[in-house]
Structure 1
Amino acid sequence: MTTARTPNLPWLGYLAIDDKTKVVVGTCAFKAAPTPDGVVEIAYFTFPQFEGQGYATAMAEKLIAIGVESAEVRHIIAHTLPERNASARILAKVRYAAGRRSRGS
């Protein structure tokens, strides 16, 4: 038997839905709740047919905004491959906004 439990809001996964078409275009999530040191990791994925349309950037920005609003979060991190790729470009785009609004050292 499965026991229902209260979700650990907001540290969970989300569906990204296009505002106009109401179609699910991707997913994003916090990989876990913040660590005791206040670190939270974000992840995002755009379905292939929707890549290159700004959805992943919007997802990353939204997750960062949620993290910045939380008193539990001091640092927001994300991992990607070291070579230049779409995810690295997204992180470069949102880095300034995250740094400008982040808490802690």
Structure 2
Amino acid sequence: MTKIKLTTKNLELIASTLEIAQVEISDKSKFSELLNALVPSTWPPEFNDDETMSFFLHKLQEAPEQSGWWCWYFVLNDVVTDARTLIGNGGFKGKPTFDGTVEIGYSVLQEFQNLGYGTEAIEALVSWAFDHPEVRQVIAETLPELKASQRVLEKSQFTYVGQGSEEGIIRYELSRSHMKSGAAN
């Protein structure tokens, strides 16, 4: 299967494949090689652990053709040094639901936070999702105390809508019509 990649001003986003998901768990050297990037010793970012990696691996084992609807890796391209560093990950919780909703999530290594990379990555992923006509809205859930996460969503034109799917979680939404109105530019 061909890798799906998105390029932004500073980043290359690489959709996980079955092979990448397998080596992220079992072979950090091969993982680095497949992403063509340095994997910092602080990997993985907060809220991503062995359970999360196993979840994405399982989903890609079930349906490898769904690459792009699960985990993406955020690789920082340093144009001065030509170095590539894995700085975060994110993606979706599967293909769109019957009503055209996808849920997005993301996490950036602490040493790369507050530099705009999370917003850059999320905007690219949202654009990729809306390139699929069946996607009508993108939602995101976060903890109320994660102010940086909320800022990323707000900068990316998501709207706070209140209580999330579980107690203590808040929800944001971005609809296709909001994107088309030009409000997300």
**TM-score normalized by the length of structure 2:** 0.49
Superposed CA RMSD in Å reads: 2.3
* 2:70 partner letter: L
1:79 and 2:141 equivalent?
yes
Q: Which structure would you say has the larger Rg?
A: 2
Q: Alignment partner for residue 74 of structure 2, among 2, 16, 22?
A: 16
Residue 101 of structure 1 corresponds to: 180
Identity %: 33
Query: What is the CA distance between 1:101 and its match in structure 2?
Result: 3.1
Q: Which residue of 1 aligns with 2:39?
A: none
Unaligned runs of 5+ in 1: none
- Tell me if the contact between 2:75 and 2:87 (Cα under 8 Å) persists in the aligned partners: yes
Q: Secondary structure, in 3 states, of the residue corresponding to 1:79?
A: strand
Indicate the structure whose relative CO is greater, using CA pairs within 8 Å and at least 6 residues apart. 1
Match of 1:66 in 2: 128
4+ long deviations beyond 4 Å: none
Q: How far apart in 1 are the matches of 2:122 and 2:180?
A: 14
CA offset digits 1:59-96 (Å, max 9, x no partner): 11011101111111011111112356001111111116
- Secondary structure of the equivalent of 1:95? coil
